[in-house]
Amino acid sequence: MNWIIITVVLVCAIALILYLVKKNQKDKKDVTKFFNTDTKIRKESELDEEEEY
């Protein structure tokens, strides 16, 4: 009886780990794509070359 419970818990744990690894890889691709795009995120205190006074 105990082996059945241990087996079920281990299978669920392995499935959860595989799911989290797969989701992490997808999120990593999305973040990499976001940061590789040409986004001009800058602080308000920074000025462009054209805006220099």
Q: Flag whether 53 is in a domain.
A: no
pLDDT for 30 beyond 70 = yes
Answer with the residue of higher pLDDT: 6 or 31.
Answer: 6
Q: Flag whether 14 is in a domain.
A: yes
Q: Flag whether 48 is in a domain.
A: no
Answer with the residue of higher pLDDT: 49 or 22.
Answer: 22
Q: Flag whether 10 is in a domain.
A: yes
Using a 10 angstrom Cβ sphere, with 0-12 exposed, 13-18 middle and 19 or more buried, the burial of residue 44 is exposed
Q: Flag whether 50 is in a domain.
A: no
Q: How confident is the model at residue 39 (pLDDT cuts 50, 70, 90)?
A: low
Enclosing domain of residue 17: 1-31
Answer with the residue of higher pLDDT: 18 or 37.
Answer: 18
- Report the domain count for the chain: 1
The model's pTM: 0.55
Q: How confident is the model at residue 6 (pLDDT cuts 50, 70, 90)?
A: very high
Cα distance between residue 15 and residue 22, in whole Å: 11
